[in-house]
Each structure stands twice: as structure tokens, then as C-alpha cells.
Amino acid sequence: MRTNKRKIEKGKTPADTTQRAIRLVLNEGMAGNNIAKHFLIPQKTLHRYVVKAKSQKENNGEINLKRVGYFNWRNIFSKEQETVLADYL
């Protein structure tokens, strides 16, 4: 079986770092491009998350992005199901 090795560092920003950057842009009114440089987040990515957070903030009053970064949409089993199946086998 082949193992795929990641060759780029794209999409590796932790969720808590992104949350802090979004809060600084929305609550403190700081410039997005300066915050993006400070937290080493691409400016367009930060902008996309800020727009998403603004719409959530208007709906329920708080900023909480549950998912940040890239996701594997082709999973058949969840992590818990995989561990149960691996233990069984």
C-alpha cells in the first residue's frame, strides 16, 4: 500500500490561531492584512473566514468556526469506527 507524503505546508494553521486572528479583525477592528502577516495565514484565507464569521455573528452573536482548513470528505468510517474495527481485526 502506498503512503502519501504531504509536500506542502498549505492548510496547516491551527484552528485556535485562526480563531484569534478572526477575533482581532472583527472585535478589535485591526487590519486583516497585518493580522494575516502576524499569524502567518494567507490573506485571502483569513478574509474568507472573517466573512464566514461575520455571517455567524449576525445570526447568533458569537464567533465560533467549527472547521478550519482542509478536510477529507471521502471517509467511510469515522475515527472511532476505524479504531473499533482495527481492534476487532
pTM of model > 0.85: no
C-alpha cell at 18: 485562526
Question: Which of 24-33, 57-66, 78-87 is the least confident region?
Answer: 57-66
Which contacts (CB < 8 Å, 24+ apart) does range 17-22 have? Answer: 17/41, 18/46, 18/49, 18/65, 18/68, 19/63, 19/64, 19/65, 19/68, 21/46, 21/49, 22/46, 22/49, 22/50, 22/53, 22/63, 22/65
pLDDT at residue 71 in the model? 63
In this prediction, residue 87 carries a pLDDT of: 93
Question: What's residue 83's pLDDT?
Answer: 92
Residue-wise pLDDT tens digits, 54-80: 877 666 656 666 666 666 667 788 889
The closest of 65, 12, 7, 66 to 39, measured between CA atoms, is 12
**Residue range 26-47: mean pLDDT, rounded:** 83
